[in-house]
Amino acid sequence: MLRFHASAARLGALALTLALLGSCNSYDLLVHDRFEQADFNSEVDILWVVDSSNSMASAQAEIQANFGDFIAEFANLDSEQGQELAYNSVTDATVAFAEYLQNQERFLNYHMGVTTTDLDSSGNGTQGNIRSLGPIGGSGSCEPPAILTPQSDDVLADFTRLVDVGIAGANTEQGSLAAAYAMCKGQDTDFWQNLDSRPDTDPVKIICQQVPEDQRSCNSSFFREGAATVVIVVSDEGDNTYRNGFLPPPAWVDECENEHIAELTFGECDCRTSWFLDFFDGLEAPVVFATIGPTYQAGSAATAWCDGSERSIPGPCNEFGSDVCGIDFYQQMACMTGGLFSPIKVTTVEDDPISCVLADFQESLRNIGALVSGLSAGWRLSMIPDEDTITVIVDGEVVPSRVDQPSGGWSYSPGDRSIRFSGEDVPGFNAQVDIYYYPLHDRRSQVGRELPF
Domain 43-375 has CATH 3.40.50.1400: no
Q: Which of 5-9, 52-56, 329-333 has the lowest mean pLDDT?
A: 5-9
Q: How many CB atoms lie within 10 A of CB 26?
A: 8
Nearest one of 17, 11, 33, 64 to 281, comparing CA atoms: 33
- Checking if the pLDDT of 248 tops 50, the result is yes
Chain segment 279-299, per-residue pLDDT in tens: 998 987 778 899 999 999 987
Contact yes or no for 274/194 (Cβ under 8 A): no
Burial of 299 (0-12, 13-18, 19+ CB in 10 A): middle
The confidence score (pLDDT) of residue 290 equals 93
The confidence score (pLDDT) of residue 122 equals 92
For 7, 29, 382, 412, the CA distances from 22, given in Å and listed in that order, are 22, 13, 21, 19
- Checking if the pLDDT of 451 tops 80, the result is no
- Checking if the pLDDT of 18 tops 70, the result is no
Chain segment 176-201, per-residue pLDDT in tens: 999 999 999 999 999 999 999 999 99
Q: If pLDDT is split at 50, 70 and 90, which confidence band does 91 have? A: low
Q: If pLDDT is split at 50, 70 and 90, which confidence band does 133 have? A: very high
The confidence score (pLDDT) of residue 40 equals 45
Q: Rounded mean pLDDT of 34-60?
A: 81
Is the peptide bond prior to 135 cis by the omega test (within 30 degrees of 0)? Answer: no
- CA-to-CA distance for 260 and 263, rounded, in angstroms? 5
Task: Please state the domain extents for the chain.
Answer: 8-38+385-437, 43-375
| Strand segments (E) across 239-305 | 287-293, 302-304
The confidence score (pLDDT) of residue 92 equals 56
The confidence score (pLDDT) of residue 59 equals 94
Q: If pLDDT is split at 50, 70 and 90, which confidence band does 127 have? A: very high
- Checking if the pLDDT of 309 tops 80, the result is no
Q: Rounded mean pLDDT of 82-91?
A: 48
Q: How many CB atoms lie within 10 A of CB 437?
A: 26
Q: Which of 360-364, 380-384, 423-427, 446-450 has the lowest mean pLDDT?
A: 446-450
pTM score, whole prediction = 0.77
- Checking if the pLDDT of 21 tops 80, the result is no
- CA-to-CA distance for 369 and 132, rounded, in angstroms? 23
The confidence score (pLDDT) of residue 404 equals 72
Burial of 250 (0-12, 13-18, 19+ CB in 10 A): exposed
Mean pLDDT over the full length of the chain:
81
Nearest one of 28, 46, 74, 100 to 442, comparing CA atoms: 28
Q: Rounded mean pLDDT of 352-358?
A: 81
- Checking if the pLDDT of 365 tops 60, the result is yes
- CA-to-CA distance for 403 and 417, rounded, in angstroms? 18
